[in-house]
Structure 1
């Protein structure tokens, strides 16, 4: 299969490009710079140099030449909205496969660090998180186009972890650099369903092979309250675990990061398991605790890496 990946130099898109290439697919990836293009080329991935603003035509040309297109970019709301709409227009009637990488941040609940009993499967109704309304709209655009000569689907993972991630465990280690303690927000009982990057890429493979038009597939393997993460990090580093108020959390992680560390996002992967036979192989995110790359994040520094929904 000829597969074009928009976002092939990012955390998820890059892992997906390498995974699909290793499976024997012909993979093309969008690269914004010459150095990014060289990196893709060295991995056996054909680069298309350009960006989503100034080179939109080249992106659409590459999309129309592929058997399948994966949108896995981390773009701003306006850029993502325009790109997804253009992809749907360009690919409608071509019988191409289009898969949108979304995330369970669209259904996050602002609990302020408190526990939520709500767990959402793919077909369950929910109130979208306002900051992710554009992403939910992109999902709706892709899903609505299914069956009109376009095999379009959405993959919605939880918190993705693995080598090089910037998720909750990384953020707790970073809080030690800022405060001297492993931090969580409020009660720390809020829970964000998680999934390993390797399990995400396997789900994409299954969706490309077996997914139905209009399919929505969650990817989640486990969940752990943020307080438990902080307590394990504290034990690893020999520091205390400490609760932050929302205002204090903003000083540690920034406004958006503090929000992400305080919400609940609990999901079930019913359709992914039932319809695609997907089963996660990595179920314990806390196995990362103690990795040297994470411990280095606890060394005082001046910048905080951004989180994403």
Structure 2
């Protein structure tokens, strides 16, 4: 199949691109820069210059594809609402373009906030609905297209999609710990983040492209919940700095933009995903990646 991928050179997208190419698909990847375009071409994918704001380019690429995997996102937490509006526009554009075609449309979402106070499952509906919701309510919007002849699939990724070279949440926690001289957690640190290795997440996306039904939801979660205390202590050991608690009222000053996520308790299950698609995570755990130096500066 000819698959159009947004975010094709990103942290998750580059691994997904590799999986799709290995499976024999032709990949057309959206590229924001010459460097990204060159990286895609070097791997055997077809680069398409453009950004998530270029809805005309995205519409044409979706129309010319056998399926779409949308992994791109504007990761600017200083303009979070604007990022959500962009996301909603992209999902709506692709959904409208593929309507009535029965072609697959897989898009990124998350497990955080699905089921406060309990283990989230694939059967939990997103509470983020409408254009002013986080990510522009794009998951709920995208799944609506299942009733319009699109094989939409929500790819709910764990809070930490980790691996050597990760520049996400754990990398930011490590940077803050290095600057502050201590690896911090909020309160008693008992709150949990689900985690998955990047290679396992990418393999699941390829499986979902082939197998998931319209309106399907998959959880890219290998570890249901890693306690923030354990994450902080592992970061502390890797940097040779102590781990310490930060009071909730001090979190914003200590952590900066990531403070809104540090105290979240968001355990999530992938039991249904594993049973439905035969997916078995095999990559290292989050704490193993931290211990292996995965979040230390690269030479």
Task: Give the alignment's TM-score, normalised by structure 1.
Answer: 0.86
3-state SS of the aligned residue for 1:98? strand
Q: Does 1:84 align with 2:91?
A: yes
Compute the displacement of 1:52 (Å).
2.4
- d(CA) in 1 for partners of 2:222, 2:32: 33
Residues 118-127 or 94-103, more deviating: 118-127
Residues 135-144 or 220-229, more deviating: 135-144
Distance change in 2, residues 1:262/1:135 (3 Å): same
2:236 alignment partner in structure 1 = 234
- d(CA) in 2 for partners of 1:289, 1:34: 32
3-state SS of the aligned residue for 2:165? coil
Kept in 1, the 8 Å contact 2:67–2:103? The answer is yes
Kept in 2, the 8 Å contact 1:221–1:283? The answer is no
Compute the displacement of 1:186 (Å).
1.4
Compute the displacement of 1:212 (Å).
0.6
2:14 alignment partner in structure 1 = 14
TM alignment of 1:151-190, pairs within 5 A: 151-158=151-158, 159-190=160-191
TM alignment of 1:179-218, pairs within 5 A: 179-218=180-219
Kept in 2, the 8 Å contact 1:106–1:129? The answer is no
1:4 alignment partner in structure 2 = 4
Distance change in 2, residues 1:129/1:270 (3 Å): farther
3-state SS of the aligned residue for 2:8? coil
Kept in 1, the 8 Å contact 2:166–2:294? The answer is no
Compute the displacement of 1:266 (Å).
0.9
- d(CA) in 2 for partners of 1:60, 1:129: 23
Compute the displacement of 1:156 (Å).
0.3
Compute the displacement of 1:105 (Å).
2.6
Could you report, residue by residue, the CA deviation over 1:228-277 in whole angstroms, capped at 9, with x for unpaired residues? 111223233332111112343323331x3011111111111133112111
2:62 alignment partner in structure 1 = 63
| Structure 1 gap segments, 5+ residues each | 110-115, 298-309
Kept in 2, the 8 Å contact 1:108–1:263? The answer is no
Compute the displacement of 1:47 (Å).
0.6
TM alignment of 1:48-127, pairs within 5 A: 48-53=48-53, 55-75=54-74, 76-107=83-114, 109=116, 116=117, 118-124=118-124, 127=127
Distance change in 2, residues 1:122/1:195 (3 Å): same
Kept in 2, the 8 Å contact 1:108–1:264? The answer is no
Task: Give the alignment's TM-score, normalised by structure 2.
Answer: 0.88
- d(CA) in 2 for partners of 1:229, 1:130: 33
- d(CA) in 1 for partners of 2:90, 2:124: 27
1:219 alignment partner in structure 2 = 220
- d(CA) in 2 for partners of 1:198, 1:66: 25
- d(CA) in 1 for partners of 2:208, 2:259: 33
2:248 alignment partner in structure 1 = 246
Distance change in 2, residues 1:128/1:143 (3 Å): closer
- d(CA) in 1 for partners of 2:198, 2:176: 23
- d(CA) in 1 for partners of 2:253, 2:35: 34
Distance change in 2, residues 1:85/1:169 (3 Å): closer
